[in-house]
Amino acid sequence: MAEPLFTDLPRDLPSFLERFGTDAQCRAHLVRARWPESFRCAECGHDRAWSHKKRLIEECRACGKQHSILAGTIFEQTKTGLARWFLAIYLVTSSKGGISALELQRQMGFGSYGTAWTWLHKIRRAMIRPGREPLADRIEADETLVGGTRPGKRGRGAEGKTVVAGAVEAERGQTRGRRLGRLRLQAVPDATKASLEGFLEANVAKPATVTTDGLASYRGLPEAGYVHEPINLTRSWGEASQRLPAIHLVFGLVKRWLLGTHHGAVSAKHLQAYLDEHVFRFNRRTARSPAHRFARLVQHAVQTKPTTYRQIVHGAPA
């Protein structure tokens, strides 16, 4: 993927507003994001366009075909000014731990909580990079239980909790220095072989070396094409956190984040969207500046298919 379109990233809110404070500025940026080389007419291949004055359309100067700037992006159908969207994305990506819907409502001056909630979910949809590369080399994988307010029965699949499968790139023994690579998290129906192996197949390249505990669900990994390094341990957390330190560090971070920023108020239906946001932040934790996350997200946003309010409410997969 091409580098972000900015070389001079906004450093703070004033420089952000200087750069993206108006709809026209945001529009110009989206045009560049959609046609990074230069405008190219899908109809005739011509490379020059008129910018429509009122509508968000670029019109081919040769054949007159109209190209919507927003069609096929998360901004499609938006009736709100682009500058408002850019500001919301800036607020979400510039705060270290992200912000809650309530906080977004307050900062954007939205009339309703529902609007802020929907915007946040639309923005989260753009957090998965289209066509991202699978994890590789050395992986630690495990699963954990997230959420649930009822004190359910202990163990896997306890009442009201969701099984979350995780995998992180980690050199053995380097966790103290926190030299972890990229992360993937997926809410799965259960801790069966089908779910956990399925998660790894979808997210980890072969033949990576995968370290897990001794759970039977992972025993098919060699047959699936991985180098499997199972660790024999009793399934007490204390020991697991020492023997699989990287993924347990990650699980601790995501649970703290859900409790902190979102007060644990995340339903099972929407958990994946929050996991996606956490992964987006984790995988860009060493980015040179928060604005780097902003630039990435806008870039993803123009490549991310729009979702309807209905799809979001029902937690349809991205």
For binding to Zn ion (CB under 5 A), which residues are involved?
A: 41, 43-44, 46, 60, 62-63, 65
The nearest distance, CB 54 to Zn ion, in angstroms, is 21
3-state SS class at 176:
helix
- For 16-66, give the DSSP string: HHHHHSSHHHHHHHHHHHHSSS----TTT----EEEPSSSSEEEETTT--E
The nearest distance, CB 28 to Zn ion, in angstroms, is 20
Q: Which is nearer to Zn ion, 23 or 59 (CB)?
A: 59
Q: Which is nearer to Zn ion, 59 or 76 (CB)?
A: 59
- For 40-53, give the DSSP string: --TTT----EEEPS
Q: Which is nearer to Zn ion, 63 or 205 (CB)?
A: 63
The nearest distance, CB 227 to Zn ion, in angstroms, is 52
Q: Which is nearer to Zn ion, 49 or 126 (CB)?
A: 49
The nearest distance, CB 65 to Zn ion, in angstroms, is 5
Angle at CA of residue 274, ends 268 and 275, nearest 5°: 95
Structure tokens at 34: 């959609």
Closest CA to 86 of 130, 27, 6: 27
Q: Which is nearer to Zn ion, 40 or 84 (CB)?
A: 40
The nearest distance, CB 24 to Zn ion, in angstroms, is 24
Angle at CA of residue 115, ends 111 and 121, nearest 5°: 155
The nearest distance, CB 302 to Zn ion, in angstroms, is 20
Q: Which is nearer to Zn ion, 46 or 255 (CB)?
A: 46
Backbone phi, psi, residue 229, to 5°: -120, 85
Closest CA to 87 of 175, 25, 159: 25
Count CB neighbours of 225 within 10 A. Answer: 12
